[in-house]
Amino acid sequence: MSGDESGNDGDPDGADDNWVSDSVDEGDASPVDDGQPTDAGGADQSADGGPTGSPKKGPDEKFCAECGAVINEKAEICPECGVRQPGMGSSDDERLIAALLAIFLGAFGAHKFYLGQTGLGILYLCFFWTMIPGLIGIVEGLIYLSKSDEEFHRQYMQD
């Protein structure tokens, strides 16, 4: 190779046929290609065009409530920090179970025992023979089904 370090092999205008060699720092002999596209200034870009410093979420992803990492939308626990995500518990199952207990076994107060309201459960048991707790249970079951998971958990579940 000639004494010219730029590799333009004597082009009079100084243009380089190998444009990749100009974009690599001279101190770095082997450029690392991380598969991310770069803009004209050479700054890293994420796959959707945003800078890699600010993560972007895809259609089936969400941000972790604790650390802010991009995680799968259905993930219950963040793989980065290990924190359980809010709203990912079994509140939908709890709401459905409480509603079914209220509709089918509401006369005996089964839904009240399930929700931790033992006193009301015993009261329902004492008066099950009047069929009034059964009617109230059906109405309560329909109310449970009409509420959102967050609203049900906030109002009825005891932590």
Q: Give the tens place of pLDDT for each residue, 56-111.
A: 777 888 888 788 888 888 888 888 888 877 765 555 688 999 999 999 999 999 99
Average pLDDT over residues 148-159: 81
User: Is 117 a member of any domain?
Assistant: yes
User: Is 119 a member of any domain?
Assistant: yes
Same domain, 118 and 103: yes
Same domain, 117 and 149: yes
User: Is 84 a member of any domain?
Assistant: yes
User: Is 106 a member of any domain?
Assistant: yes
Q: How confident is the model at residue 10 (pLDDT cuts 50, 70, 90)?
A: low
Number of domains in the chain: 2
User: Is 150 a member of any domain?
Assistant: yes
59 Cβ contact partners less than 8 Å away, ≥ 6 residues apart: none
User: Is 6 a member of any domain?
Assistant: no
Same domain, 100 and 59: no
Same domain, 79 and 95: no
88-100 as b/e: b if 16+ CB within 10 A: eeebeebbebbbb
Please state, in angstroms and rounded to a whole number, the distance separating the CA atoms of residues 14 and 131. 96
pTM for the model: 0.46
Percent of the chain with pLDDT over 90: 33
What pLDDT sits at residue 122?
Answer: 96
What pLDDT sits at residue 18?
Answer: 52
User: Is 127 a member of any domain?
Assistant: yes
User: Is 140 a member of any domain?
Assistant: yes
Domain around 126: 91-156
Please state, in angstroms and rounded to a whole number, the distance separating the CA atoms of residues 94 and 144. 10
